Chain A
């Protein structure tokens, strides 16, 4: 176990991973921090077994842990209002903040796996094949979840998100 290497990684990359976790948890900062801590603690005993870059590995672990976490605890998660605040009439810095908040709130209402697909795809810029591997599903599932997720976001935001353009695959 190279403890110094692990500590160094956490020190330098925890913020980036926390941001992913924050979106995976639908904007719940406390839950995101718990989730990240949980995943990193689990990774610690296995650290020396991770060859190559640990960050993609941990992002995948975060996405899976988030999905399972919400699955297991869903009965205790209270309903969250979809969009409970009307945006200001004119665009501006305040409008921008409200829009960002609305996106996170909208994400929160999505099923966890669909949310994970959108976060990995549009926040972490992962390819569909990478997401499929991370979430242990087919690329077809990733495509359909992306499509449905964006449609749902569009509904929630009453906006005009365009239909997604999928990557070309050989399978």
Chain B
């Protein structure tokens, strides 16, 4: 067999392979979901508002004192619901909680690593989808975890244990995301066959639910129904002519008619950077599909420098806007590389005609690295992708990259004043603030007066 025959055998071996029916729709749904998650990550890092990158969702600007107060209430309220006296079921639900919590998506971020005390049942009852229980437990979110800084400290984990219609077994089918809890959010769950059972937890405020998204001109709008709680929860069947994925709940007065997240459901594209108000929460089936089947295989959380959406340009780069720059970058840096990438970048047009774009990237749980695109000219006809090494956000001048073939140094430390010199006894030259393109023979840089040697 020669290489031509190898080619033929490979083609023959794959002849007739087709994706399953509906594959394009599946991909489209997944893509939309990922875009939503990604935006939440962006929002968390750029706006320092919402927290975790997950499929589920919820809510608005955070009020920590109110949240702690609500958490305390959940831990002290007596169990309610028509199964509150069914100790066998309560014990079963608690066992499921202990078994499954480590598989929840938010476990990725370390929120459930340190569980304090015993879990308890907030509510237990019969629903149209079978027996169900809301379980809560005190947790402590440590600094070493991947949690957002604002979420660190004592928190309350909450989730729904009920029947998974796929196999009839009792499971943890959804959790209330700690990183997204807000005063106006309603703890609610969509579960059971086709996720058509809506359960909203009552904390004493007016409760509302909304099945559908309408449209007035270019604006997505909602109409809301006032809900009447019983035994601490509201149970609603989502009608067959409504999509559970668009059903939302709200606690408090005056639910918003316009929700930025709805534009993700029916378009147009891109509600950001409008501040989030209320998001539509994911369904139980979505939660189950995204469970961590191996708790050690945690989802990725970005650990990039929090430098926002900054662009520093040096030399003589071609005029281009953010979209054009991203297009050039995106064409040449494979998707896997920019699983996460910084919004900031440094762009340099060198005197020899080369174009350099530097970003910070992170693949999986790896340490973030500098990834640098060096093209032979401004039109990017020949491009090298260069690994610029790991980024240690704790060091002074975390970005130091020497451009190959004498192109100079790119250095950056946002907010800091920079100067440099090219010999040990040479004169210091001002290099401005934040970032700089320095001569290739630079030996030292000062960062707010602190000297750093380049080597």
* Chain A residues in the interface with B (C-beta under 8 A): 1, 3, 6-7, 10-11, 14-15, 18-19, 22-23, 27, 29, 33, 36-37, 39-46, 49-52, 57-58, 60-61, 64-65, 68, 72-73, 76, 96, 99-101, 103-104, 119, 122-123, 125, 133-134, 136, 150, 153, 157, 159-162, 164
A44 contacts B35, C-beta separation under 8 Å: yes
User: What is the bound-complex CA distance between A1 and B7, given in angstroms?
Assistant: 36
**Closest beta carbon of chain B to A22's beta carbon, Å:** 6
B35 contacts A61, C-beta separation under 8 Å: no
Give 1 or 0 for each of B1-32: 1 = CB within 8 Å of chain A CB. Answer: 11100110111111001111001101110111
A49 contacts B330, C-beta separation under 8 Å: yes
| B323 at interface, CB cutoff 8 A | yes
Q: Which of B10, B24, B335 contacts A10 (CB 8 A)?
A: B24
Q: Which partner residue on chain A sits nearest B332 by CB separation?
A: A133
Inside 8 A of B35's CB, which chain A residues have their CB? 44-45
**Closest beta carbon of chain B to A150's beta carbon, Å:** 7
Inside 8 A of A10's CB, which chain B residues have their CB? 23-24, 27-28
Count of A-B residue pairs with CB < 8 Å: 143
Q: Which of A40, A52, A101 contacts B331 (CB 8 A)?
A: A52
Most B CB within 10 A of own CB, among A19, A23, A61, A99: A19
User: What is the bound-complex CA distance between A68 and B225, given in angstroms?
Assistant: 48
How many chain B residues have a CB neighbour from A under 8 Å? 47
Inside 8 A of B383's CB, which chain A residues have their CB? 133
User: What is the bound-complex CA distance between A100 and B269, given in angstroms?
Assistant: 45
Inside 8 A of A52's CB, which chain B residues have their CB? 331
User: What is the bound-complex CA distance between A46 and B294, given in angstroms?
Assistant: 29
17 further interface pairs, Cβ-Cβ under 8 Å (given A72-B364, A104-B13, A161-B6): A6-B31, A37-B23, A37-B30, A41-B27, A42-B31, A42-B34, A44-B31, A60-B334, A76-B294, A100-B9, A103-B9, A103-B10, A123-B11, A123-B14, A136-B334, A157-B1, A161-B1
A22 contacts B331, C-beta separation under 8 Å: no
Interface residues of chain A: helix, strand, loop or mixed (majority): helix
B31 contacts A49, C-beta separation under 8 Å: no
User: What is the bound-complex CA distance between A162 and B331, given in angstroms?
Assistant: 35
Q: Which partner residue on chain B sits nearest A38 by CB separation?
A: B30
Q: A23-B10, A161-B6 are in contact. Are A42 and B339 (CB under 8 A)?
A: yes
B13 contacts A11, C-beta separation under 8 Å: no
| B96 at interface, CB cutoff 8 A | no
Interface residues of chain B: helix, strand, loop or mixed (majority): helix
Q: Which partner residue on chain A sits nearest B294 by CB separation?
A: A76
**Can you list 24 A-B pairs, Cβ within 8 angstroms, ordered by A?**
A6-B28, A7-B28, A10-B24, A10-B27, A14-B24, A14-B27, A18-B18, A18-B19, A36-B19, A40-B30, A41-B30, A41-B31, A44-B28, A44-B32, A45-B34, A49-B327, A51-B327, A65-B336, A68-B336, A68-B363, A96-B12, A122-B6, A133-B385, A161-B3
Inside 8 A of A41's CB, which chain B residues have their CB? 27, 30-31, 33-34
* Chain B residues in the interface with A (C-beta under 8 A): 1-3, 6-7, 9-14, 17-20, 23-24, 26-28, 30-35, 38, 267, 269, 294, 297, 323, 326-327, 330-332, 334-337, 339, 363-364, 383, 385, 387
User: What is the bound-complex CA distance between A104 and B13, given in angstroms?
Assistant: 7
User: What is the bound-complex CA distance between A19 and B11, given in angstroms?
Assistant: 8
Q: Which partner residue on chain B sits nearest A17 by CB separation?
A: B19
User: What is the bound-complex CA distance between A60 and B38, given in angstroms?
Assistant: 22
A23 contacts B14, C-beta separation under 8 Å: yes
Inside 8 A of A162's CB, which chain B residues have their CB? 2-3
Q: Which of B3, B11, B13, B18 contacts A15 (CB 8 A)?
A: B18
**Closest beta carbon of chain A to B1's beta carbon, Å:** 5
Inside 8 A of A101's CB, which chain B residues have their CB? 13
Inside 8 A of A44's CB, which chain B residues have their CB? 27-28, 30-32, 34-35
User: What is the bound-complex CA distance between A41 and B36, given in angstroms?
Assistant: 12
Q: Which partner residue on chain A sits nearest B28 by CB separation?
A: A7
Inside 8 A of B334's CB, which chain A residues have their CB? 57, 60-61, 64, 134, 136
B31 contacts A61, C-beta separation under 8 Å: no
Inside 8 A of B327's CB, which chain A residues have their CB? 49-51
Q: A51-B327, A123-B10 are in contact. Are A164 and B335 (CB under 8 A)?
A: no
A160 contacts B1, C-beta separation under 8 Å: yes
User: What is the bound-complex CA distance between A36 and B11, given in angstroms?
Assistant: 18
A100 contacts B12, C-beta separation under 8 Å: yes
A100 contacts B385, C-beta separation under 8 Å: no
A15 contacts B19, C-beta separation under 8 Å: yes
Q: Which partner residue on chain B sits nearest A165 by CB separation?
A: B3
**Closest beta carbon of chain B to A32's beta carbon, Å:** 8
B326 contacts A49, C-beta separation under 8 Å: yes
Q: Which of A14, A39, A136 contacts B337 (CB 8 A)?
A: A136
Q: A10-B23, A49-B330 are in contact. Are A122 and B28 (CB under 8 A)?
A: no
Inside 8 A of A36's CB, which chain B residues have their CB? 19
Query: Which 5 A-B pairs give the minimum distances between C-beta atoms?
Result: A44-B31, A19-B14, A61-B335, A64-B336, A41-B30
Q: Which partner residue on chain A sits nearest B20 by CB separation?
A: A33
**Closest beta carbon of chain B to A9's beta carbon, Å:** 9
A33 contacts B336, C-beta separation under 8 Å: no
Q: Which partner residue on chain A sits nearest B270 by CB separation?
A: A1
Inside 8 A of B23's CB, which chain A residues have their CB? 10, 14, 33, 37
